[in-house]
Structures are given as structure tokens and as C-alpha cells.
Structure 1
Amino acid sequence: MTDKIVIYQKPACSKCRATLSLLQESGEEFESINYYEVPLTADKLRELILKLNLPVRDILRKDESAARDLSAASDDEILAAMVKNPDLIQRPIVVRGNQAKVCRPPENVLELLK
């Protein structure tokens, strides 16, 4: 596989750090994007969700207190909340070409390295 690898992550997140470590050990080149410094737009989130092939609710961190108010929200409302509060986004998300994985557990990244 030759598509560029991109990881969307939060440096303080242990799962993100573990996934970054696996990527570094793989020897593959990758780009790391801290989405707290480079915020994700609603369009970028939609693109990632398409590549993940998951419903919007599946990348919502339901254990976050701000997620409790979203139980009856539409997909667009959830996306808007994620843009406003990135803590609501499952992380890390690793993309390679048209494929993406939420790397919880971090070993999920290995599926993109084959």
C-alpha cells in the first residue's frame, strides 16, 4: 500500500500515543495532526466518517459529559457539537487512502499497515 497515512490525534490521549508508537515502529511515513491545534471542520469530519464506514454516533465519545445532551440529536447536530468540542470525537483516527480506523485499541492501526 502506498497511500499516505494520516493520524488525527490528541497528544494527551494514551491511545493516541500508543498508536503513534506503533506507526513509528512500522517504519511507514505518516503525518500526525493534532486536531486541537488544527481543528476539524464539519466537512472534514464527514469525509472521515465516510472512510470509517461508521454511523456518526459511533465516533461520538458517549462517556463525555457534553455527549449526554446529544441523545436525541441529528447527525448534523452531533457533527456540529464535535467541531465545537473535539473531546467528543473518538480518537485516534488513522487514515490511509480511502480507508480509516478508529484505533481503540491502538492495534487497529495494524490493519492499515498490511
Structure 2
Amino acid sequence: MITIYHNNRCRKSREGLAILEDSGKPYKVIKYLEDTPSPEELSGIINLLGIKPIELIRTNEAIWKSDYKGKELSDSEIIEAMVQHPKLIERPIVINGNKAVVGRPPEKISDIL
């Protein structure tokens, strides 16, 4: 089943969800601000995406700028920051089996459907 890590307040995330709806394929929505992934889940997502943890951070968020920007952080510290402040997680993330994308732009989601 396809999974989308979704924030309904985000236009790009809503556009990504619409792509899944239009695909007609079954999917599951995880509202990650309410149901925050564990450090292990985030590590697995990052591995599927084939990126470094810092590449999943929304570096323009106020909490990043005030608490983390300019600090030398390990990958595990960056993951822990996302667990503590899920607003820092880039969105939407769509996973289909062993493939995953960050839906920015949302059209990238079609690549893994």
C-alpha cells in the first residue's frame, strides 16, 4: 500500500494527496504532525529516499533557525530534532513499496506510482 506523510495545512502536501486520489490506487495517510514517526521510522524513510537526514529538514522553519542553524549536528541529532519538532520534516513524503519521494514538486509522486 502507498503511504503519504501529510500535512493538510501545506498546499504541496494537499496537491500530493490529490495525485494519489486521482491514481485510484489504495493509500494510507499519516498525519505526521499528530502521529510523529519514531527515530527508527524516520531513519528507514531517509534510507528509502536515499538522502542524508539534513536533506529532509525544512531549514526555513523558525524552530530550525532559532535552535539548530549553524550547529554541528550528527545524523542522529538531526533525526531527533525532527522527532521533537515534526514541523521540520519536509513534506509530503510518499512511499510505495521500496520506493519513496519527497513530493516537491508534487509531480514527482507520479514517478513511483
Q: TM-score, normalised by structure 2?
A: 0.93
Assess if the C-alpha contact under 8 Å between 2:94 and 2:103 holds in 1. yes
User: Considering only aligned residues, what root-mean-square deviation do their CA atoms show, in Å?
Assistant: 1.0
Assess if the C-alpha contact under 8 Å between 2:33 and 2:87 holds in 1. no
- 1:109 corresponds to: 109
Q: TM-score, normalised by structure 1?
A: 0.92
Assess if the C-alpha contact under 8 Å between 2:4 and 2:27 holds in 1. yes
Q: Distance in 2 between matches of 1:103 and 1:59?
A: 12
Structure 1 residue ranges without an equivalent (≥5)? none
Alignment of 1:21-100 (within 5 A): 21-68=18-65, 69-71=68-70, 72-100=72-100
Q: Distance in 1 between matches of 2:6 and 2:69?
A: 23
Percent identity between matched residues is 37
Q: Distance in 2 between matches of 1:63 and 1:102?
A: 17
Structure 2 residue ranges without an equivalent (≥5)? none
Find runs of 4+ consecutive structure 1 residues off by over 4 angstroms: none
Post-superposition offset of 1:88? 0.6
Q: Secondary structure at the match of 1:36?
A: coil
Work out the number of aligned pairs and report it.
Answer: 110
Assess if the C-alpha contact under 8 Å between 2:2 and 2:95 holds in 1. yes
- 2:7 corresponds to: 10
C-alpha distance after superposition, 1:33-53 (max 9, x if no partner)? 101221111010000001000
